[in-house]
């Protein structure tokens, strides 16, 4: 142990009683105030600001200077606070996001960010605003080139870049498409109302999980092995135990035996690795200490004697004869496939594929890489577990599912398990299911204190990912371009534990044939276990993988038949009411309108500039198939409205949409609505926030809760005015009386006083489970998208330059067009990531080679297409309020095949493996040149 | 991270003394954009960090003296870029310095640090190498100067003896009609480490020199012996041949960023492009 380690003693369990390292005194200015503090030399400026000064606006994500979430200004210049030692701040003047707005008065940049829709989950925003602020102050009239450069050190995984470019134009005083920011009454639905919770996100006061300080909280750090798969021989925790400030070190041996396993569908994941680690990063021990710094240091002192075992990390390796079994046979009792790494064999289809006669048969194999969510907020959990009750803070997408799983695991009544779900800083599916909550709970119970675990970005990479896939397709076409059959074999590479991956494979492949009229289809899909991070839900669920292949087939057929990519789709895509999957609900929108709109927006029939290529593709994803969402709406005597909803607002803007719905239904100004979310003790049950369901499911529940209030308003009017019920109606948010019309909002303020109370409405939407349906029920709606590109490819280097990127969704009704645009762009940009750059790379030992932000590349402001635009088809034909449908995943479904088609059109090479990195395209060009 | 002590000497002599005394137990800190990451990830561990930013002699400063630019060790990339662009000096070095990380990084990272970190992918190093830049090293034994190409001995290895500190990077200003250009290949347009990078320098006599990055453990400077590259009107085949000869001397590796053969191929592409730009700059006759 270094001699710089000393215990300072001192009272209070959470007062930093023990500190690691020698302390230095420093003086600096922070947001204009002089500060004098002692700080250990190895503490980063970011930790100092957040933990010592409690300025939690700056965030930590990558901790290596790549994401910019920690950006602050030092002597006026933006820097990464994670890369500075706090002691380097000596004598400096630091400005954090907290110093940017004057009280509630936002700066010009902050105001523009909100107004133009730059803010989604908000986790990147404090850092982003600091970079934007620095540019704006230095160069108020900065143009897009400077803006792209200035923001390129800040990553936004929600994909807000386009709106931010707008915001910077707005801040520069240029005219941008005008969005409503003022709360309005009566017609917020359909208007670009700015985000509820937006102010907190631009001024840095929004509390994310890592910003919470729970009294008495101790800090946990995972102990992992740098090996893909290993047999654990012996764990020596003595050195870690000896570090002052370490409270406990926990291994599987310390847990009740047998160590419990959990999972949403299969109970296969142990709380902590028992005897064997099955993927790179699976924890074997956990150290809990007084500070995160001590925990991290001590975790490095835990000695784990282990033997590396062969790991299967690819589909071929997992399916090979004699491949090591990822899950022991005992874990899969009664499963005839238990002797293999195939989890399930799924079969769908209709018609007669083998008997179908085709003029053209296209047969190809496509691959889709493992990718990771890379939410800018790394995963984090806090649990206060006592013998008889438990409180869990987790930015989880499904608080009630977490409650259920934890109650089961710890044998507690549901009512004794409270889940508090702070808004996730981006979810994208990664935050759906429990991950380390059970481990944190076990440790919390052992030490009798709340325990916090916040993962590093590297650990987050090891915790969540999307299934990689290899898809082999044979497709038949008539010479005129009619699609006759698809014969699809999909293998999805899932992880060591199933999580929700079986459903991902099922749902994606059930709709493998896409939004087409296909007379004959055979789909065989297998989720294949491997020694890799458990793959989980991820925006688009299992569709982007198989759609890459199937749309690739359509593009290939078009090329071989000499038909245009647009024409072959106009010929085969189902239009409203036409059947796609035999026996399933038919197409629920005028999809051909979306295809045509995308083509028009791109300028499909204009002359193509020299050297450029164009491509187009479509996709559909099944919306939620089952569900139960409850909502409660309280209309208070002064017209205030409280909406209780179990949805998680992870950037999609659920809060805003719900407030709009309630405001309009009750004739109230938008700013009188408050949303109460994310606390299972307070909000009524909601199944989950997934599958773009919330507008439809929770939106409907809220609408119905407001209708429940309407009935009571009529009763109130009868009672107080003495008018018969038959003479009173509610229209929109207005009560219609024989002599006048009045917004409910105004009416209750005058009348409710006599009732001494408030009106409480309950509403729910339920879609029951249908046991015999392969998905448990028909999709509540389809998310349809058409994407088109115009690109240029550098034949020498393989680099792709995107000039135009167009995405059009069939949204039913845009309740908030700005929000729809934000969601759509976000999905599109994420799609560009897996199309062009993103992939988890493994070495032969099963280790991830590109953990963290340096070698896993996502889209930055400088990678944005020259022009990205969104269109929406609104026919008010969805099942949600005002005919809305879910919208947040469509634009990720067909990014890759549309881009692939554009690349092929530009340079004549066809890529079948993603991502289309410069090197991969270059290689394809070399092969083409060699013939 | 393993805790360490922190010392911020106020003068060079104070700095040598502690640095010499501590030796391998200490690490020097300039901008910290590489060191902090290495310490946090445990790639490096140290007992003491010696922060050089308090040393008066190393304060950010660029001097233009007798044909040399002397860039003090405390000078950040941002300051360097601003200085060069205001004076329209060394466009290739500007191009390289401007792509080191993000703005946030460039506000901290120093030119001397980029050299001392000795990453094969460092962007400024091929330019400095091609220009014949040197580092100025002060130590208890006095001051010495050494060529950057000699100073960087391998991947993360530099010729710095116990007690020695790099005090400045010295860049000879090209004289007469000359042209110099930088190019790099990355995986995306936004902030990225170079897959490969290169600088082409054509001197007043038309001799062509290439500085290559990320394709060998230490900076590689290659001269075009054929003379073809010095002729702006040379035909495509001859140029390709000359570049091939040169590229064959590089020893790229395959890693997570790219394969060796992509790197080799890109070397040729960059050499061709940079050479054209360098010729154009030379023809422009400006101090470029
Ligand atoms: S750049 Fe500091 S946390 Fe990512
Ligand atoms: S708003 Fe940028 S990461 Fe969510």
**For the domain that residue A738 is a member of, what is the CATH number?**
3.30.365.10
Residues A879 and A904 grouped into a single domain: yes
Quote the CA–CA distance of A4 and A727 in Å, as a whole number.
Answer: 82
List chain A residues with CB under 8 Å of B263.
Answer: none
Q: Are residues A546 and A488 in contact, defined by beta-carbon separation less than 8 angstroms?
A: yes
Residues A645 and A759 grouped into a single domain: yes
Cα–Cα distances in Å, from A343 out to A317, A471, A495? 15, 17, 11
Neighbours of A738 (CB within 10 A): 9
Contacts of A689 (CB under 8 A, 6+ apart): A397, A398, A427, A647, A648, A650, A654
Quote the CA–CA distance of A661 and A299 in Å, as a whole number.
Answer: 49
| B3/A2 Cβ within 8 A | yes
Q: Are residues A631 and A702 in contact, defined by beta-carbon separation less than 8 angstroms?
A: yes
- Which of residues A99, A131, A153 is at a domain's end? A99
Q: Are residues A528 and A515 in contact, defined by beta-carbon separation less than 8 angstroms?
A: no
Quote the CA–CA distance of A463 and A457 in Å, as a whole number.
Answer: 10
Contacts of B72 (CB under 8 A, 6+ apart): B57, B58, B59, B60, B61, B62, B112, B167, B168
Say what the pLDDT of residue A195 is: 86
| Closest C-alpha among A592, A583, A602 to residue A516 | A592
Question: A529-556: per-residue pLDDT in tens?
Answer: 999 999 999 999 999 999 999 999 999 9
What ligand has the least distance to the C-alpha of A60?
Answer: 1
- Which of residues A463, A483, A510 is at a domain's end? A463
Say what the pLDDT of residue A9 is: 32
Q: Are residues A781 and A879 in contact, defined by beta-carbon separation less than 8 angstroms?
A: yes
Nearest to A85 among B6, B192, B266 (CB): B6
* Helix (H), strand (E), coil (C) string for A162-209: HHHHHHHHHHCCCCCCCCCCCCCECCCCCCCCCCCCHHHHHHCCCCCH
Say what the pLDDT of residue A690 is: 82
Residues A804 and A889 grouped into a single domain: yes
Residues A752 and A794 grouped into a single domain: no
Domain for residue A194, yes or no?
A: no
Quote the CA–CA distance of A782 and A881 in Å, as a whole number.
Answer: 16
Residues A558 and A652 grouped into a single domain: no
Radius of gyration (C-alpha) of chain A in whole angstroms: 28
pTM: 0.96
Rounded average pLDDT over A302-315: 98
Consecutive H or E run containing B276: helix B260-284
Distance B87 CA to ligand 1 centre (A): 33
Cα–Cα distances in Å, from B64 out to A349, B67, B83, B171? 76, 7, 11, 10
Place of tokens 């993360």: B156
Report the share of chain A in percent with pLDDT over 70. Answer: 97
Question: A14-71: per-residue pLDDT in tens?
Answer: 334 467 888 999 999 999 999 999 999 999 999 999 999 999 999 999 999 999 999 9
User: What total number of domains does chain A contain?
Assistant: 4
| B105/A80 Cβ within 8 A | yes
| Closest C-alpha among B224, B155, B215, B152 to residue B183 | B215
Q: What confidence category does residue A870 fall into, taking pLDDT thresholds of 50, 70 and 90?
A: very high
Domain for residue A155, yes or no?
A: no
Residues A861 and A887 grouped into a single domain: yes
Say what the pLDDT of residue A651 is: 85
Q: Write out the residues of chain B at the interface with chain A, using a CB-CB cutoff of 8 A.
A: 1-6, 8, 29, 32-33, 36-37, 39-42, 47, 49, 51, 53, 78, 101-105, 107-108, 185, 187-193, 195, 256-259, 262, 265-266, 269
Quote the CA–CA distance of A630 and A624 in Å, as a whole number.
Answer: 15
Query: Which structure tokens are listed for A861?
Result: 């402001």
Nearest to B104 among A20, A22, A65 (CB): A65
| A79/B104 Cβ within 8 A | yes
Q: Does A720 touch chain B (CB under 8 A)?
A: no
Q: Residue A449 sits in a domain of what CATH number?
A: 3.90.1170.50
Q: Which of residues 34 through 53 in chain A touch B, CB cutoff 8 A?
A: 40-42, 44
Neighbours of A187 (CB within 10 A): 12
CATH 1.10.10 is right for the domain spanning B5-51: no
Report whether residue A63 contacts ligand 1, using a CB cutoff of 6 Å.
yes
Q: Which residue does chain A place closest to B254, by CA atoms?
A: A919
| Closest C-alpha among B110, B147, B109, B146 to residue B128 | B147
Quote the CA–CA distance of A772 and A646 in Å, as a whole number.
Answer: 29
Query: Which structure tokens are listed for B150?
Result: 């000699």
**pLDDT tens track of chain B, all 288 residues?**
889 999 999 999 999 999 999 999 999 999 999 999 999 988 899 999 999 999 999 999 999 999 999 999 999 999 999 999 999 999 999 999 999 999 999 999 999 999 999 999 999 999 999 999 999 999 988 999 999 999 999 999 999 999 999 999 999 999 899 999 999 999 999 999 999 999 999 999 999 999 999 888 888 999 999 999 999 899 999 999 999 999 899 999 999 999 999 999 999 999 999 999 999 999 985 444
Q: How many Cα atoms sit within 13 Å of A860 on the Cβ side?
A: 26
List chain B residues with CB under 8 Å of A835.
Answer: none
Domain for residue A408, yes or no?
A: yes
Quote the CA–CA distance of B136 and B167 in Å, as a whole number.
Answer: 6
Contacts of A440 (CB under 8 A, 6+ apart): A220, A381, A382, A383, A451, A452, A453
Residues A417 and A282 grouped into a single domain: yes
In degrees and rounded to multiples of 5, residue A307 shows phi and psi of: -120, 125
Say what the pLDDT of residue B194 is: 94
Is pLDDT at A8 greater than 60 in this prediction? no
Residues A392 and A304 grouped into a single domain: yes
Residues A667 and A752 grouped into a single domain: yes
Say what the pLDDT of residue A503 is: 97
| Closest C-alpha among A793, A811, A810 to residue A802 | A793
Question: A75-98: per-residue pLDDT in tens?
Answer: 999 999 999 999 999 999 999 999
Angle, CA A172 vertex, CA A166 and CA A178 arms, to 5°: 45
- Let me know if A731 is exposed, middle or buried by CB neighbors in 10 A (0-12, 13-18, 19+): exposed
Q: What was the ipTM of the complex prediction?
A: 0.97
Quote the CA–CA distance of B4 and B1 in Å, as a whole number.
Answer: 9
Cα–Cα distances in Å, from A684 out to A274, A400, A558, A633, A650? 37, 9, 51, 11, 19
Domain that holds residue A448: 216-309+377-425+430-463
Residues A813 and A746 grouped into a single domain: no
Residues A414 and A292 grouped into a single domain: yes
Say what the pLDDT of residue A184 is: 56
* Helix (H), strand (E), coil (C) string for A343-377: CCCEEEEECCCCCCCCCEEEEEEEEECCECCCCCC
Interface size A-B, in CB pairs within 8 Å, comes to 147
What ligand has the least distance to the C-alpha of A830?
Answer: 2
Query: According to CATH, what is the number of the domain B179-284?
Result: 3.30.390.50
Say what the pLDDT of residue A188 is: 82
B6 Cα to chain A: minimum distance (Å): 6
Buried b / exposed e along A867-905 (16+ C-beta atoms within 10 A): ebbbbbbbbebbbbbbebbbbbbbbbbbbbbbbbbbbbb
Contacts of A36 (CB under 8 A, 6+ apart): A25, A26, A27
Question: Out of A7-11, A86-90, A341-345, A799-803, which region has the weakest mean confidence (pLDDT)?
Answer: A7-11
DSSP output for A38-80: EEETT-BHHHIIIIIS----S--SSSSSSS-TTEEEETTEEEE
Buried b / exposed e along A685-723 (16+ C-beta atoms within 10 A): ebbbbbbbbbbbbbbbbbbbbbebbbebbbebbeeeeee
Query: Which structure tokens are listed for A412?
Result: 């507690």
Quote the CA–CA distance of A871 and A808 in Å, as a whole number.
Answer: 4
Measured from the CA of A377, which atom of ligand 2 is nearest?
Answer: 3
Residues A792 and A901 grouped into a single domain: yes
Domain for residue A355, yes or no?
A: no
Q: Which of residues 844 through 903 in chain A touch B, CB cutoff 8 A?
A: 849-850, 854-855, 857, 859-863
Distance A880 CA to ligand 2 centre (A): 26
- Which of residues A79, A99, A119 is at a domain's end? A99
Q: Of A68, A69, A83, which to mutate for an interface test with B (greatest number of B Cβ within 10 Å)?
A: A83
Distance A191 CA to ligand 2 centre (A): 22
Peptide bond between residue A258 and the one before it cis (omega within 30 degrees of 0): yes
Question: A746-785: per-residue pLDDT in tens?
Answer: 999 999 988 889 999 999 999 999 999 999 999 999 999 9
Domain for residue A126, yes or no?
A: no
Domain for residue A367, yes or no?
A: no
The full set of domain ranges for chain B reads 5-51, 59-172, 179-284
| Closest C-alpha among A455, A368, A348, A523 to residue A840 | A368
CATH 3.30.465.10 is right for the domain spanning B59-172: yes
| A40/B3 Cβ within 8 A | yes
Cα–Cα distances in Å, from A185 out to A111, A164, A580? 22, 27, 42
| B1/A297 Cβ within 8 A | yes
Contacts of A177 (CB under 8 A, 6+ apart): A166
Q: Residue A68 sits in a domain of what CATH number?
A: 3.10.20.30
Length of chain B: 288
Question: Out of A101-110, A225-234, B261-270, which region has the weakest mean confidence (pLDDT)?
Answer: A101-110
DSSP 8-state assignment for residue A564: -
Question: A439-469: per-residue pLDDT in tens?
Answer: 999 999 999 999 999 999 999 999 999 999 9
β-bridge mates for residue A139, sequence order: none
Domain for residue A569, yes or no?
A: yes
């Amino acid at each position: 142990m270094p001699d710089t380690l000393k215990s300072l003693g001192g009272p209070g369990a959470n007062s930093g009683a023990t500190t690691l390292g020698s302390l230095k005194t420093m003086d600096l200015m922070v947001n204009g105030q002089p500060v004098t503090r002692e700080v250990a030399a190895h503490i980063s400026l970011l930790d100092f600001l957040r933990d010592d000064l409690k300025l939690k606006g700056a965030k930590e994500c990558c901790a290596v200077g790549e994401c910019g979430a920690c950006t602050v200004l030092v002597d006026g210049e933006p820097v990464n606070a994670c890369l500075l030692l706090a002691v380097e701040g000596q004598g400096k003047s630091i400005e954090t996001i907290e110093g940017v707005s004057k009280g509630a008065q936002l700066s010009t940049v902050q105001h523009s960010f909100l107004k133009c829709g730059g803010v989604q989950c908000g986790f990147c925003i404090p850092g982003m605003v600091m970079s934007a602020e620095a540019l704006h102050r230095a160069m108020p009239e900065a143009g897009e080139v400077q803006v792209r450069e200035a923001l390129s050190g800040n990553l936004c995984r929600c994909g807000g870049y386009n709106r931010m470019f707008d915001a910077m134009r707005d801040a520069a005083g240029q005219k941008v498409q005008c969005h409503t920011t003022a709360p309005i009454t009566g017609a917020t639905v359909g208007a670009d109302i700015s985000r509820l919770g937006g102010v907190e996100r631009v001024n840095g006061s929004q509390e994310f999980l890592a910003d919470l300080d729970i009294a008495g909280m101790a800090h946990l750090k995972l102990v992992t092995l740098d090996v893909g798969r290993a047999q654990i021989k012996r764990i020596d925790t003595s050195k870690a135990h000896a570090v002052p400030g370490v409270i406990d070190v926990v291994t599987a041996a310390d847990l009740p035996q047998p160590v419990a396993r959990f999972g949403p569908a299969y109970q296969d994941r142990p709380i902590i690795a028992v005897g064997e680690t099955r993927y790179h990063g699976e924890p074997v021990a956990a150290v809990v200490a007084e500070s995160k710094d001590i925990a991290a240091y001590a975790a490095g002192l835990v000695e784990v004697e282990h033997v590396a075992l062969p790991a299967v990390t690819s589909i071929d390796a997992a399916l090979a004869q004699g491949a090591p079994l990822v899950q022991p046979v005992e874990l899969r009792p009664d499963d005839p496939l238990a002797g293999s790494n195939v989890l399930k064999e799924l079969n769908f289809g209709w018609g007669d594929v083998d008997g179908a006669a085709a003029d053209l048969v296209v047969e190809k194999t496509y691959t889709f890489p493992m990718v990771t969510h890379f939410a800018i907020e790394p995963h984090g959990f806090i649990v206060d577990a006592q013998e008889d009750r438990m409180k869990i803070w987790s930015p989880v997408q499904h608080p009630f599912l977490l409650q259920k799983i934890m109650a089961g695991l710890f044998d507690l009544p549901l009512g004794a398990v409270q889940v508090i779900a702070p808004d996730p800083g981006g979810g994208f599916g990664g935050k759906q299911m429990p991950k380390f909550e059970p481990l944190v709970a076990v440790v919390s119970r052992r030490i009798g204190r709340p325990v916090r675990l916040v993962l590093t970005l590297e650990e987050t990479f090891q915790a969540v990912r999307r299934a990689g896939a290899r898809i082999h397709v044979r497709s038949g076409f008539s010479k005129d371009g009619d699609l006759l059959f698809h014969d699809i074999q999909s293998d999805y590479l899932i992880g060591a534990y199933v999580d929700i991956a079986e459903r991902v494979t099922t749902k994606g492949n059930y709709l493998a044939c896409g939004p087409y009229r296909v007379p004959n289809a055979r789909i065989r899909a297998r989720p294949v276990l491997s020694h890799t991070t458990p793959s989980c839900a991820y925006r688009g669920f299992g569709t982007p993988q198989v759609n890459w292949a199937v749309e690739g087939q359509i593009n290939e057929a078009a090329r071989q038949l000499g038909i245009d990519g647009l024409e072959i789709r106009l010929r085969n895509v189902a239009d409203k009411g036409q059947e796609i999957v035999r026996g399933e609900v038919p197409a629920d929108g005028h999809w051909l309108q979306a295809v045509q709109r995308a083509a028009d927006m791109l300028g499909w029939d204009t002359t193509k500039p020299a050297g450029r290529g164009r491509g187009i593709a479509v996709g559909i994803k099944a919306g939620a198939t089952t569900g139960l969402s409850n909502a409660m709406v309280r209309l208070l005597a002064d017209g205030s409205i409280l909406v209780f909803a179990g949805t998680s607002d992870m950037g999609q803007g659920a809060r805003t949409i719900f407030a709009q719905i309630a405001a309009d239904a009750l004739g109230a100004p938008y700013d009188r609505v408050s949303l109460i979310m994310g606390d299972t003790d307070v909000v009524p049950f909601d199944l989950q926030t997934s599958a773009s369901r919330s507008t439809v499911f929770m939106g409907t529940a809220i609408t119905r809760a407001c209708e429940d209030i309407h009935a009571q308003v009529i009763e109130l009017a009868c009672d107080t005015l003495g008018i018969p019920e038959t003479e009173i109606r509610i229209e929109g948010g207005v009560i219609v009386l024989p002599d006048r019309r009045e917004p409910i909002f105004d009416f209750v303020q005058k009348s409710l006083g006599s009732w001494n109370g408030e009106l409480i409405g309950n509403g729910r939407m339920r879609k029951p489970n249908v046991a015999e349906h392969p998905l448990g029920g028909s999709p509540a709606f389809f998310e349809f998208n058409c994407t088109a590109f115009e690109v240029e490819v550098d034949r020498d280097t393989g680099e792709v330059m995107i000039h135009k990127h167009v995405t059009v969704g069939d949204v039913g009704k845009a309740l908030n067009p700005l929000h729809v645009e934000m969601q759509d762009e976000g999905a599109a940009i994420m799609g560009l990531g897996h199309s062009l750059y993103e992939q988890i790379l493994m070495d032969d030992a099963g280790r991830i080679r590109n953990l963290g932000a340096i070698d896993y590349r996502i889209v930055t402001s400088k990678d944005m297409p020259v022009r990205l635009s969104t269109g929406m088809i609104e026919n008010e034909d969805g099942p949600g309020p005002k005919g809305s449908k879910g919208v947040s995943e469509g634009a990720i479904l067909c990014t890759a095949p549309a881009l692939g088609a554009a690349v092929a059109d530009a340079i004549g090479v066809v890529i079948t493996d993603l991502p289309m990195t410069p090197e991969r395209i270059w290689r394809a060009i070399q092969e083409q040149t060699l013939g | 991270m393993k805790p360490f002590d922190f010392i911020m000497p106020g003068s060079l002599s104070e700095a040598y003394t502690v640095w010499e005394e501590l030796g391998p137990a200490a690490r020097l800190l300039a901008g910290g954009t590489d060191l902090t990451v290495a310490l946090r990830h445990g790639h490096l561990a140290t007992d003491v960090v010696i922060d050089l930013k308090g040393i008066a002699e190393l304060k950010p400063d660029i001097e233009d003296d007798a044909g040399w630019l002397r860039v003090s060790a405390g000078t950040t990339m941002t300051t360097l870029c601003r200085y060069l662009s205001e004076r329209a000096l060394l466009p290739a070095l500007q191009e390289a310095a401007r792509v080191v990380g993000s703005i946030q990084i460039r506000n901290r990272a120093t030119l001397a640090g980029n050299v001392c970190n000795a990453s094969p992918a460092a962007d400024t190093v091929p330019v400095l190498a091609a220009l014949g830049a040197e580092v100025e090293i002060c130590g208890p034994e006095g001051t010495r100067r050494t060529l950057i190409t000699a100073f960087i001995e391998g991947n993360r290895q530099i010729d710095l003896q116990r007690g020695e500190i790099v005090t400045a990077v010295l860049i000879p200003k090209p004289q007469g009609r000359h042209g110099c250009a930088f190019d790099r290949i990355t995986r995306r347009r936004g902030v990225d480490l170079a897959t490969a990078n290169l600088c082409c320098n054509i001197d007043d006599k038309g001799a062509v020199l290439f500085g290559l990055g990320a394709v060998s453990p230490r900076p590689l400077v290659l001269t075009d012996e054929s003379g073809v590259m010095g002729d702006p009107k040379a035909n495509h085949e001859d140029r390709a041949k000359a570049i091939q000869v040169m590229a064959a001397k590089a020893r790229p590796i395959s890693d997570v960023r790219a394969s060796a053969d992509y790197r080799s191929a890109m070397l040729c592409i960059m050499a061709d492009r940079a050479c054209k730009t360098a010729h154009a700059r030379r023809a422009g006759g400006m101090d470029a």
